[in-house]
Amino acid sequence: MKKNLIIAAVVLMGIALIYKYSSKPKTISAPGIPLPVQNEDVGASLPADAKKVISESETDIVGSCSKNIASILEDFGKIWDVAPAKDKKVPLINQEDSLKISEMLASYESCSALSLGDRDKCESLPSKYGVGGRLLFPRELCKYKYDNIALAAYSAGKYEKKEVCSDFLYSHNIEGVSVEDFCQALKKGFPSVCEEMKGKVDKDILKGCYFIFPKNISSCGKEADCADSYSAYEAFSSGKSEKCLSKESCSALTNKSESFCSPLKEKLLNFYCEAYSKGLKKAEEDAKKMEEMEKAKIADIEKQKAYEERKRKDAEKAEQEKIKEKLKRAQEDADKEIKKLLEKRPGSGE
């Protein structure tokens, strides 16, 4: 009997110890979900260059636009670009506006070059060798526009530099005709040029010839450059400058004065400033959107953390309930055993 009492006492002590240590809170995580690290800053900062495009571009514009031709040229490849590299940061001014800027810049610079009779002035404009669509770039566009007006003037006897002939042949890679022969054909007037080239140049080149040196305006169809060239030829031939579609360039060449190019310059600067401001506004909007996206991302992270924390606490609570239930059953079993032992003691009535 004494031995049984000792065993019962040991069982009760064991139960008490189990309850004591199991009552301490435990950290339990759901399988496969790591617990969040305590006392650690959680968040995502904006990329370093999110607003960099704005700060980098505010050098020349403060309040009102103060751009000039030199700064526009300096901005090429950074603020605007007609064919930006895919692996580089997108320029502030979009490609559509950049193409218009390239066109306007080429128009102004070719006009200025015509006033000086110096095609090489176009060489100061930007270009990218090895990139397709070369006529997108200001340098090539400038030469192209210069040639259109200069060839018309030469053909009408209003321009004397023979370089216009060699420049044209070289630019278009035309073989089979000498510079001298081409100049002679050109002096006979636009309607005769392509006829003179028959049998001397490739058929494909001859086919395109009629759009560069049209017989009349109607033969141009919807080709704007063709109409521009013929209108210049007609204006120089008749002495009526109003017939020239590129009136600034025709007047600049005739009068040898760059002042006639001023409207083109003003148009370019105004458009550039508008495109610049539009680009800044979009960059600010994009930066704001990015910031909002990052805030939403942080909110999602916090929401996930809260979910995992609730899951952890629920799992911990469930585990505690299991332990309590086990302890309760153990207590009940122990009570039963003690009761049985007590009932078997001497004098208990058994």
For residues 147 and 164, the answer to whether their CB atoms sit within 8 Å is yes
- How many CB atoms within 10 Å of residue 258? 17
How much is the pLDDT for 163? 92
Global pTM value: 0.66
* CA dist., res. 2 & res. 8, Å (int): 10
How much is the pLDDT for 133? 55
For residues 116 and 142, the answer to whether their CB atoms sit within 8 Å is no
* CA dist., res. 312 & res. 323, Å (int): 17
Annotate 160-171 with DSSP letters as a single string: --THHHHHHHHH
For residues 113 and 141, the answer to whether their CB atoms sit within 8 Å is no
Say which residues have a Cβ less than 8 Å from residue 218's Cβ, sequence separation at least 6. Answer: none
Q: Which two tokens stand for residue 238?
A: 């008749």
Q: Taking CA 331 as the corner, what is the angle to CA 327 and CA 337, rounded to the nearest 5 degrees? A: 145
Which amino acid does the sequence have at 308?
E
Q: Tokens 């005769």 — which residue?
A: 192
Say which residues have a Cβ less than 8 Å from residue 322's Cβ, sequence separation at least 6. Answer: none
- How many CB atoms within 10 Å of residue 104? 21
Task: Look at the alpha carbons of 149, 150, 153, 159 in this order and tell me if their dihedral is positive or negative.
Answer: positive
How much is the pLDDT for 334? 81
pLDDT tens for each residue of 168-184: 998 888 888 899 999 99
Q: Tokens 């200001």 — which residue?
A: 138
Rg (CA), the chain: 43
* CA dist., res. 309 & res. 313, Å (int): 6
> What ranges in 156-246 are assigned the alpha helix state H?
163-171, 179-187, 190-197, 203-212, 224-238
How much is the pLDDT for 342? 78
Mean pLDDT by 10 residues, the chain (350 residues): 42 42 35 30 29 32 69 93 79 92 97 96 84 75 94 94 91 88 93 89 86 89 91 94 93 96 96 93 80 82 86 87 86 81 67
Annotated domain spans of the chain: 65-279
pLDDT tens for each residue of 111-165: 999 999 999 999 999 987 655 556 789 999 999 999 999 999 999 999 989 999 9
* CA dist., res. 307 & res. 250, Å (int): 74
